[in-house]
Amino acid sequence: MPDTIKVLVTGAAGQIAYSLLYSVAKGDVFGTDQPISLCLLDIAPMMGVLGGVVMELQDCALPHLKEVIATDKEDVAFKDVDVAILVGSMPRREGMERKDLLKANVKIFKSQGAALDKYAKKTAKVIVVGNPANTNCLTALKSAPSIPKENFSCLTRLDHNRAIAQIALKLNVAPSDVKNVIIWGNHSSTQYPDASHATVHVGGKDISAFEAVKDDSWLKGDFLKTVQQRGASVIQARKLSSAMSAAKAICDHVRDIWFGTPEGQFVSMGVISDGNGYGVANDLLYSFPVTIKDKTWKIVEGLKIDDFSREKMDLTAKELIEEKETAFEFLSSA
């Protein structure tokens, strides 16, 4: 039996966590033979609600859930953590300026980064989900200098899964037949969902997505818009943001970090851009295609970037540079 690992989920009283915690606790992410100590962090006013989540997790009677800790204290939450899934963040309230939202989140992720630095294992893997996810991840990374920056990533897997699903729906194939789509850049509406390196399994072989779809204007038009705007469409319909699909994407993301990506396949993930070959400025938390082995990601090298892609990749990089500049102003003054 492997040693128990401590998995922290922040924003644990929220709606994504409500879908996520059961999957993590029952073994969808770390395997069904991995004992888990689950730590739930939320803010003080949510402790009552969190108590209910703890009761439900206990009532699931899961064999490998060794312990559930609920807390509003960062020192308790981050102590000896193996995996930190940072879901909680400051939501945008009506009339709130983008800058103010960024400022409130810099405060949260600076504090949680410092707690990671002080209390977590140096091998801890940190996954940021709370928006603005890329810049929050960069803030946490910069605030935890003793943890390797490669241990940090942010979630763009939901966008990646949305892109796969759109192509699968268009062709009436299974999502597992669509591989190697890419989300470049920011988890925002400037993201670039790129199908130019994607393949689809049809007629017993893998062919390029463009060849399979036979509709370039869709892959360069409505497909992009649908994926970019999918979060807003879900909010409009449900009056709540994506939660079930976000939880599923978090599971996919963390499971791939833990067990690696299948041979010949890559996934999208926001990681630090240092030394990439795609002309993205260094020191941005930018979503790239990555492969993962031995719990370490590597940006896929050598993909050809045409002018259409270049323009879109630069646009989303520009937004991330602006977010970073604003965040760093607050980071130094916070």
With CB under 6 A as the contact rule, the residue among 24, 39, 65, 131 that binds ligand NAX is 131
Of the residues 160, 187, 197, 253, only one is catalytic, namely 187
Residue (152 or 199) nearer to ligand NAX, CB: 152
With CB under 6 A as the contact rule, the residue among 5, 6, 7, 10 that binds ligand NAX is 10
Q: How far is the CB of 185 from ligand NAX (least distance, A)?
A: 13
User: Is 81 one of the binding residues for ligand NAX (CB under 6 A)?
Assistant: no
Residues 243-262 binding ligand NAX (CB under 6 A) are 243, 246
User: Is 54 one of the binding residues for ligand NAX (CB under 6 A)?
Assistant: no
User: Is 11 one of the binding residues for ligand NAX (CB under 6 A)?
Assistant: yes
The reply to whether 187 belongs to the active site is yes
Which residue of the chain is nearest ligand NAX when measured via CB? 14
User: Is 87 one of the binding residues for ligand NAX (CB under 6 A)?
Assistant: yes
Q: How far is the CB of 199 from ligand NAX (least distance, A)?
A: 24
SS (H, E, C) 223-250: HHHHHHHHHHHHHHHHCCCCCHHHHHHH
User: Is 41 one of the binding residues for ligand NAX (CB under 6 A)?
Assistant: yes
Q: How far is the CB of 28 from ligand NAX (least distance, A)?
A: 18
With CB under 6 A as the contact rule, the residue among 68, 88, 142, 261 that binds ligand NAX is 88
* Residue 202, beta-bridge partner list: 205
Contacts with ligand NAX, 179-208, as mask; x by CB under 6 A:
--------x---------------------
User: Is 242 one of the binding residues for ligand NAX (CB under 6 A)?
Assistant: yes
Please tell me the distance from the alpha carbon of residue 50 to that of residue 41, in angstroms, as a whole number. Answer: 9
Residues 267-326 binding ligand NAX (CB under 6 A) are none
CB atoms within 10 A of CB 110: 20
Q: Compute CA distances 66 → 7, 121, 153, 253, whole Å.
A: 11, 19, 27, 23
Task: Return the active site residues.
Answer: 187
Site residues, ligand NAX (CB under 6 A)? 10-11, 13-17, 41-43, 46, 87-91, 108, 129-131, 133, 155, 158, 187, 231, 241-243, 246
